[in-house]
Amino acid sequence: MSVETTSPPSRRRGRPQRLPEDPHPLSSGIVGCDQRVAWLLTVARVLGPDPDLARRDGFIAALKEHGIPVDASRVSRWESGLQPLPSRVAATYEEVLGLTEGSLVAVASGLRRSFGSGPTQRENVVRETEMSDSELNRLIDINESGAGNGAQWLQLADHFSRFDRVFLREADWTALCRRLVTELGSAVGTSYVRRYEAAAAFIRHPNARRHLIMAVGQFVTDPDTQVVSPVLNLLSEVPDPAAAALTLRMLSADSENKYLRRAASSVAATKLARGHFDESALPRLESHVLGALRRGESLDGRLDSFDLAVRLPDASWERVTGGLRTRRALALVAQARSGDEMIPAARAASVVADLAPAVQADTPRHQAQEPDLMLRRLLREALFHSHKPRRHHAALLIAATPYAPSAARHLLELAADPNELLAARAWTVLMRVGNHDLRDQVMQRALADERPTVRSRALVNVGLDGGLSGEQCTALADRYAESRSLERHATLFALGMAGAPQLVELAKSEDADTARGAAWWLGQGPAIHDADLN
């Protein structure tokens, strides 16, 4: 393996040009990106299992033991949110608190990449020193072979981000990017977040971008592909014309894969908010939104198109409203365009007013605490914000904290709500937060709930949890034939992520869609849960 990296001396000393940022940053100047990253680090320390590290003086002593000489004022600045924190600080918290490598770094990096304007990519590297050539070649070989974990993918991305140009053989770029994209299709939780951040760094690097976009396109355009969104979301990371063209092509009504169209709609919403489309794309986006909102689906069933409708420019939205037949669809989008939430503000506040205190009270702590207003804000955004990246990153922040197990339990309770939208939203947030030893309860709900859109999300959670027993796999497979299309797709996901033996028989089904879907899962393999996770 031969790798050549270059970074001209003038660029090493200078400040490289930043990639375009999201034109719609976090709206609050008080609780913006920096404050959220600081909250993540503080909560990880204060609510962690070690009472000594929960105290600031104990944490400072531990930092010094790790060779990191800091004082109380430095830690106070880190945890105040008054200044951007480089990834090296998040890595320091991981090391001292005994957390999984990259578990805080990846979440903080994703938030900063999507909404912030903190350190540049070059300034935000985790390692203080560059890898040796032998270390780098070994890491490339490990990841290319499929033996790497999320931390090793992050290490590789961290190294590449130091340089303006990284020269690998064409075959090596292709193999690395295909492997990373394939693993994104079945990685779970922190295993997924770490790989996604590595892939986001790859797609932003001039030498890796073309290879990664090609790998994404090959993965999602396979007619048998069963997992789309976790991979396709990468196209939202760059304003590259090829990424925009691929998104629009998948959004087309000519696409037979409805799951691909939905995922493309979500990506299009993010790209539109980030200014990645020119005016020539607007007619196609408007046409897609109009067709989706005309259909008589529930809000949750067309949420990706709803997201896109909310992000349309005013002139585009006016053209869409002229073709809508239902005032309800018009009212829902108009509400979100003015208030940034998918349900009335009073209802959202009421739900979170019950949920947030319950989650906080149910989380172990070492000393009494005031109500956590950031937790309340994040739960509300994760459940009800009209912009998917806001929902996604709010949920990931919660998932990376000691609040996660308690949040999972209370979200599971909310998932039983008779209101179908609330139940579906709770299941969707639970996908990000994780089930945390609730597998049996999740399985029971997935089998019992008769609402198709709700049950399908419960089944996805079953698949994300993994580790199903033989009896549970049989119970899922036995319900397959009587399920609707949406539930069948989710059932195959659960069985595929579990590596269920029933897939072999399903691959012989007379139903072509079932046979092809099961065969795809047999080739893709089960869920990836990295062995290094704590």
Residue by residue, pLDDT tens for the chain (534 residues) are 445 555 433 322 222 222 223 333 443 445 789 999 999 999 999 999 999 999 999 999 999 998 888 899 999 999 998 888 889 999 999 999 999 999 999 999 999 988 876 666 666 788 878 899 999 999 999 999 999 999 999 999 999 999 989 989 999 999 999 999 999 999 999 999 999 999 999 999 999 999 999 999 999 999 999 999 999 999 999 999 999 999 998 887 555 678 888 899 999 999 999 999 999 999 999 998 888 887 655 565 577 888 999 999 999 999 988 877 667 778 888 888 988 898 999 999 999 999 999 999 999 999 888 999 999 999 999 999 999 999 999 999 999 999 999 999 999 999 999 999 999 999 999 999 998 889 999 999 999 999 988 999 999 999 998 789 999 999 999 999 888 888 999 999 999 999 999 999 999 999 999 999 999 999 999 999 999 887
**Which residue type occupies 513?**
D
DSSP 21: P
**Which residue type occupies 41?**
L
C-beta separation of 194 from 150 below 8 A: yes
**Which residue type occupies 275?**
G
Using alpha carbons, select from 482, 464, 498, 503 the residue that is nearest to residue 187.
Answer: 464
C-beta separation of 340 from 387 below 8 A: yes
Q: Structural domain boundaries of the chain?
A: 19-115, 437-527
pLDDT of residue 18: 28
* CB neighbour class for 219 (10 Å; exposed up to 12, middle 13-18, buried from 19): buried
Q: Which tokens in the block code for residue 532?
A: 């290094």
pLDDT of residue 455: 93
C-beta separation of 528 from 227 below 8 A: no
Cα-based distances in Å from 214 to 192, 234, 280: 20, 11, 23
C-beta separation of 280 from 272 below 8 A: no
Which residues have C-beta within 8 Å of that of residue 451, sequence separation ≥ 6?
420, 423
CA dist 73 and 95 (Å) reads 20
pLDDT of residue 402: 98
Cα-based distances in Å from 462 to 46, 53, 81, 184: 31, 35, 36, 18
pTM: 0.91
* CB neighbour class for 335 (10 Å; exposed up to 12, middle 13-18, buried from 19): middle
CATH topology of domain 19-115: 434 Repressor (Amino-terminal Domain) (1.10.260)
Q: Which tokens in the block code for residue 472?
A: 């549970």
C-beta separation of 193 from 150 below 8 A: yes
- The torsion angles phi and psi of 296, rounded to 5 degrees, stand at -85, 45
**Which residue type occupies 66?**
H
pLDDT of residue 253: 54
- The torsion angles phi and psi of 163, rounded to 5 degrees, stand at -120, 145
Other CB atoms within 10 Å distance of the CB of residue 424: 24
Cα-based distances in Å from 73 to 60, 70, 80, 138: 10, 8, 10, 40
CA dist 225 and 263 (Å) reads 13
